[in-house]
Amino acid sequence: MNKFDKIGIGLIAIGFLIPFFVFMGSIIGIPIFIIGAITLSFGNLKLKQKLLWILTPLVLFYPTSKAVYEISFYFADIQKVDLILPADFKGTAIIIDNADFGQKFDKKNKREQIEFNESGIAFYPTELKLQSSRFRVFTKQKNGDLKRILLSSKSPDKTQLLGYGKSSFEIKNNFTRKYIPYNYLAIGNDSIKHFESKEKRELIELIKKGEIKTVYNIVSYKKH
């Protein structure tokens, strides 16, 4: 093994590792890897050994990057929630956050378990950034088992996650307007135009009338 072998192997190793530890590291790592492979080709190692040093990192790159991604998300300071809907739920479920009524949610594997009532309504005590969170959607079967609901583009099942995001209720009070933000997710077959429960419609009307009101995004029941 001469200096070309050592330098080439070193550059290949650096080029392989940089993408896992540096933001947009592939832009730096790929050229270094290519330079390392070219340098190694001038070395004294046998062709079989050179190919092994070059091809092994290429084969390991995808599974290694996937493992690093999963591990980093597991330990990252990011919201991780499981949204659990009733069995056979179809329609638009809503989550009103910053609504601290003393509710508590269990945690499993560092994931908060948010259960919706039969009407597809849930209150969350702090801010929930659904679109930037690591969330999963389930329906809770009658036997207690959880069935995963996937995005329509990834799901072979009839019941799919059709969409999710952030919206708001508008409250008009004399000459002022207030907007109450909430997260939503639509579950169904091929359309979100499903029957919405009477309880959900009543809840929305109470919010709009101010019976359940938000001040600076804090939800509280109006005292009579």
Number of neighbouring beta carbons within 10 Å of residue 171: 16
pLDDT score recorded for residue 87? 85
Q: What is the pLDDT of residues 102-136, one digit of tens each?
A: 677 888 887 889 888 887 888 888 878 777 777 88
Most confident range, picked from 89-103, 111-125, 193-207: 111-125
Q: Report phi then psi at 188, rounded to 5.
A: 175, -155
Q: Which range has the worst mean pLDDT, 70-74, 146-150, 218-222?
A: 218-222
For 174-201, what is the mean pLDDT?
67
- Write down the H helix ranges in the chain: 3-21, 26-41, 47-75, 198-209
| Domains of the chain, residue spans | 3-75, 80-221
pLDDT score recorded for residue 166? 82
Residues 6+ apart with CB under 8 A from 138: 82, 83, 84, 85, 146, 147, 148, 149
For 149-164, what is the mean pLDDT?
73
The pair of three-digit structure tokens given for residue 103, joined into one six-digit string:
């509710």
Higher-pLDDT residue of 168, 61: 61
- C-alpha to C-alpha distance for 85 and 95, rounded to whole angstroms: 12
For 45-73, what is the mean pLDDT?
88
Q: Are 208 and 177 in contact (CB under 8 A)?
A: no
For 58-68, what is the mean pLDDT?
90
Q: Report phi then psi at 183, rounded to 5.
A: -95, 150
- Which DSSP state fits 98? S
| For residue 192, pLDDT beyond 60 | no
pLDDT score recorded for residue 224? 35
- C-alpha to C-alpha distance for 129 and 143, rounded to whole angstroms: 31
DSSP for 40-54 reads: HHTSSS-HHHHHHHH
- pLDDT band of 216, cuts 50, 70, 90: very low
- C-alpha to C-alpha distance for 170 and 181, rounded to whole angstroms: 9
- C-alpha to C-alpha distance for 73 and 71, rounded to whole angstroms: 5
pLDDT score recorded for residue 93? 85
pLDDT score recorded for residue 15? 92
Per this entry, what is the length of the chain? 224
pLDDT, the chain, mean: 78
Higher-pLDDT residue of 146, 102: 146
Q: Which range has the worst mean pLDDT, 23-32, 42-51, 178-187?
A: 178-187
Q: Which range has the worst mean pLDDT, 15-19, 95-99, 204-208?
A: 204-208
Q: What is the pLDDT of residues 33-58, one digit of tens each?
A: 999 999 999 999 999 999 999 999 99
